Amino acid sequence: MSNIEPIDFPIVGTAIKLSVMVLGFETNATTAGTYYQLLTEDDKQCLSGNYYMTEEQFAAWGQDNSVVDGYVAEHLGVTILN
């Protein structure tokens, strides 16, 4: 989970966290999907959805899982703080 610059969602609250889970994929895959959530301080969901990495992003993923958070943050237009 990553802290992000706050984003206000009327009625729901202010999202300050990005949670990203990589979905299962076969060993010969050239891309993978993710499930993301933007959450408030008390983990109330403001937004959720799926993002699929490009083949280039998947190839660059390597051993650092935090790079996937960056891909999703860029897709959503949010800034990771940590």
Half-sphere exposure of 18 (CA within 13 A, CB side): 28
- d(C-alpha 36, C-alpha 21), whole Å: 6
pTM of the model: 0.85
Please measure the distance between the N-terminal and C-terminal CA atoms of the chain and give it in whole angstroms: 10
Q: Supply the pLDDT for residue 24.
A: 93
**18-69 tens-digit pLDDT:** 999 999 999 899 999 999 999 999 999 999 999 999 999 999 887 778 889 9
3-state secondary structure of 38: strand
Q: Could you tell me the pLDDT band of residue 17, with boundaries at 50, 70 and 90? A: very high
